[in-house]
Amino acid sequence: MTQSGKDEIVAEHAHRVNVIRNEIGKRIADARAMGDLSENAEYHSARDEARKNEGRIEEIESILKVVKIIKSKVHDRAELSAKITLLKNSETEVVYTLVSSAEADIRTGKLSIESPIGKLLVGKTVGEEFVHMTPGGEVHYRIVAVE
């Protein structure tokens, strides 16, 4: 995992423990104060959120126990922490940073090296081309830059 990825999940953990946990606890207390819990939708909703939050906290703690930080370096090929610029179907330029699965977030351009495209990218250099098979057909990629 990259240092920035670790920093992000450490911040998420702190937020879940110090903010979200307290907010949910308050919602549960407020719902309890309403009386009959058997048909109290607010109470059951808050309890479900609490379980999900606690599950994510446990997941983050498990990740942090075994995480190893990858130092940034100059990249000449697609590998963990490299920023890759691709030309998709000879038309659209897309940019991804290759990251571990724990820090992947495709909306922000963080692509897991374990994802289908990530697996196809790893080890490739500028100028190389590859094809990704999707349910909608073939998508052709050419690596334009590796940073």
User: Is the pTM of the predicted complex or chain greater than 0.75?
Assistant: no
Fold for 83-146, please state it.
Answer: Chitinase A; domain 3 (3.10.50)
> Are both 3-66 and 83-146 of the same fold?
no
pLDDT given for residue 100 in this prediction: 87
Q: Pick from 96, 105, 101: which is nearest to 1 by CA?
A: 101
Query: 131 and 139 in contact (C-beta within 8 Å)?
Result: yes
Q: 35 versus 50: which is more confidently predicted? A: 50
pLDDT tens for residues 64-91? 998 888 776 667 889 888 899 999 998 8
Phi, psi of 108 (to 5 degrees): -105, 10
Show the tokens assigned to 23: 């907010």
4-48 pLDDT, tens digit each: 888 989 999 999 999 999 999 999 999 888 877 777 888 999 999
74: Cβ–Cβ under 8 A, 6 or more apart, which residues? Answer: none
Alpha helices in the chain (DSSP H): 3-15, 21-33, 41-66, 116-121
Measured distance CA(20)–CA(137) in Å, rounded? 42
Instruction: Give the DSSP letter string of 79-107.
Output: -TT-EEEEEETTTEEEEEEEE-GGG-BGG
Distances 28 to 41, 43, 50, 130 between C-alpha atoms, Å: 11, 6, 9, 52
**CATH number of the domain at 3-66, please?**
1.10.287.180
pLDDT at 74: 62
Query: How many CB atoms neighbour CB 78 within 10 A?
Result: 24
Percent of the chain with pLDDT over 90: 65
Report the C-alpha gap between 111 and 52 in whole angstroms: 25
CB atoms within 10 A of CB 84: 26
> How is the chain split into domains, by residue range?
3-66, 83-146
